[in-house]
Amino acid sequence: MSTVYPAIRNTYFSKSTVNYLMGLVAVLAFALTGPLTSISLQTIDATFSAAYRTTLAGILAAIILTVTKSRFPDRQEYRWLIPAALCVAIGFPYFTSYAMRHTGAIDTGIVFGIIPVLTALCGIFIHRRQMVWKFWLWACCAALIITVFYVQHGLRLSPFLLCAAVVAAIGYTAGSKCAQTLGGWQTISWSVVFLLPINGALMISNLEVDTLSRMSISSFFANTYLGVVSQWLGFFLWYRALSEDIQRVSQIQVLQPVATAVFATLLLNESMSSGLGMITGLLIICLLGCMKSGQSSKND
């Protein structure tokens, strides 16, 4: 599986272009997380919803790791795999589920507006990569644009969303560090497998007599997507791309609030601001600025 990426690079695109494309596909897949979480919470409990998605991902990951006879992570990889697993397979899904009990899907966009710059900051300490000042200028501008936009439109900010942003940034950075040697799909697979006993126990303990009967068809498919794609498959590409260029690839996620707003409008009939088109244009300019910014000569 890992040999596919070099083949694509050598045949069609440059290394950086492939990384950006993988990151963009992952972000579009993640953009449905907010709206579908909102749908899932219409009929089931937040804890059960988060536990279900992570348990489903863990079961599927255990199967593919067994079939492919993948090796266990080594001691150095565990150093990054453990915090990554705790953040992306426990922290983020539960924090977002709890937050969305009282907020709309579009409101989650603020989280993905600040995660990119937080991830870039974490990259300094974990990946030991520093960027030039122009990169930080563009990255901060993108985060500021999204924050101001949401505040002006009556953002309902939850402490759970802020916690989700922090753990996501740490999880992305630690996971991508592990993926440099273990591989992208192996990193997320081992992450959800290691926490499968905990998430499985939480799912069973929150399974009430009428839980399954109350779960609508739309809620079932929403949770299934969250478990298969948002919690697992999306990270195949995301971790792989981040492991190559953590700072620049992470900035692609500034486009996720826009995609989330579109999906929330289509799926939930939530109102989308008329100024979203202008914001999208500004974010694309900031993203291009980040991509064109080079690394600092102070990198280790």
Give the dihedral of Cα atoms 130, 163, 115, 112; nearest 10 deg: 180
Domain regions of the chain by residue span: 15-292
Q: How many Cα atoms are found within 13 Å in the side-chain-facing hemisphere of 127?
A: 31
Residue 118 CA to residue 169 CA, distance in Å, equals 6
Q: How many Cα atoms are found within 13 Å in the side-chain-facing hemisphere of 89?
A: 33
Q: Which amino acid is at 33?
A: T
What tens-digit pLDDT sequence spans the chain (300 residues)?
Answer: 555 555 555 556 788 889 999 999 999 999 999 999 999 999 899 999 999 999 999 999 999 999 999 999 999 999 999 999 999 999 999 999 999 888 878 777 777 788 999 999 999 999 988 889 999 999 999 999 988 887 777 766 788 989 999 999 999 999 999 999 999 999 999 999 999 999 999 999 998 877 777 888 999 999 999 999 999 999 999 999 999 999 999 999 999 999 998 898 899 887 766 678 888 999 999 999 999 886 654 554
Q: What are phi and psi of 274, to 5 degrees?
A: -70, -20
Q: What is the pLDDT of residues 213-263, one digit of tens each?
A: 788 899 999 999 999 999 999 999 999 999 999 999 999 999 999 999 889
Residue 219 CA to residue 39 CA, distance in Å, equals 6
Based on its alpha-carbon atoms, the radius of gyration of the chain, rounded to whole angstroms, reads: 19
Q: What is the pLDDT of residues 249-280, one digit of tens each?
A: 999 999 999 999 889 889 988 776 667 888 89
Q: What are phi and psi of 50, to 5 degrees?
A: -65, -40
